[in-house]
Amino acid sequence: MEALIEWFEGLGPVLSALVATLFTWAMTAVGAALVFPFKSMNRRLFDGMLGFTGGVMVAASFWSLLAPAIDMTGGEGFAKVGPPAIGFGLGALFIYALDKFTPHLHINFNKDEAEGPETNWHRTTLLVLAITLHNIPEGLAVGVLFGGAALGLPGATTAGAVALAIGIGIQNFPEGLSVSMPLRRDGVSRGKAWWYGQLSAIVEPVAGVIGAVAVMAMRPILPYALAFAAGAMIYVVVEEVIPETQRDKYTDVATLGFIGGFIVMMSLDVGLG
């Protein structure tokens, strides 16, 4: 693992962010590819995987993003928590705005439950857009952390950025499947279902590079940027992931999956960071 971290350090922050988020995108593509051997998936397992995704995102929001943001903020007391609090709120508001102004459909929801402006767009498009909104803060978080590590700021390390990318990659595996499998059940061909599944995460490399470049260009924004990504991820979990896991009878499985995901991401961040 040390060799991997040293390799990333040699790439520079922007290229590191690109490579890391290409990995997270690839994990989405691999997960979506399960649509080729399978046409359906056990509902219990599916809800457990969604819960796992939520657990990873919540743990990453604190251990990989909020905690470093607080560590690198100067001052004491409320002054120290000010920038992270502002960034966290802005991140949540950002996803809230995208949620309100972008037509999309959450997993396990019927088309008449689509959110955002009314539209005649196909269910496939709405589903992909929902997961795409979900993936923007994930890519941004990886890029921002690599940028902060390159600047040598307290709490931001290359090891932590690598751990975050690994955690997001792991939880992206079921995300890809969560797009491709419902589309396959709706009669979409295997190839198209996979294509749309992987397409939902293609925004991550873009967001990752933007995050790294922004932090390198404007160093003082790093605490805000880290907390911004955390706020966006928490909003996604509460508004999207958790409700999706509560629509069937396997809520306990989803909850246990959430706990498992939290433990995995916490272990990765503390163990590697």
DSSP readout, 53-72? HHHHHHHIIIIIIIHHHHHT
Q: 40-70 pLDDT, tens per residue?
A: 777 788 888 889 989 999 998 998 889 888 8
What is the count of structural domains for the chain?
A: 1
Q: Which domain holds residue 247?
A: 2-272
Enter the pTM of the model: 0.84
Say yes or no to pLDDT of 113 above 70: no
Q: How far apart are CA 128 and CA 32, in angstroms?
A: 12
Half-sphere exposure of 7 (CA within 13 A, CB side): 7
The count of other CB atoms within 10 Å of the CB of residue 251 is 14
**Residue pLDDT, tens place only, 228-259:** 989 998 998 888 888 878 777 788 999 999 99
How distant, in Å, are the alpha carbons of 123, 136, 268 from that of 17?
A: 32, 14, 18
Nearest to 254 by CA among 32, 42, 40, 44: 44
Query: How confident is residue 26, by pLDDT bands cut at 50, 70 and 90?
Result: very high
pLDDT score recorded for residue 269: 84
pLDDT of residue 32: 92
End-to-end CA distance of the chain: 11
Please check whether residue 61 is in contact with residue 235, taking contact to mean a CB–CB distance below 8 angstroms: no
Angle between helices 222-236 and 123-150 (to 10 degrees): 150
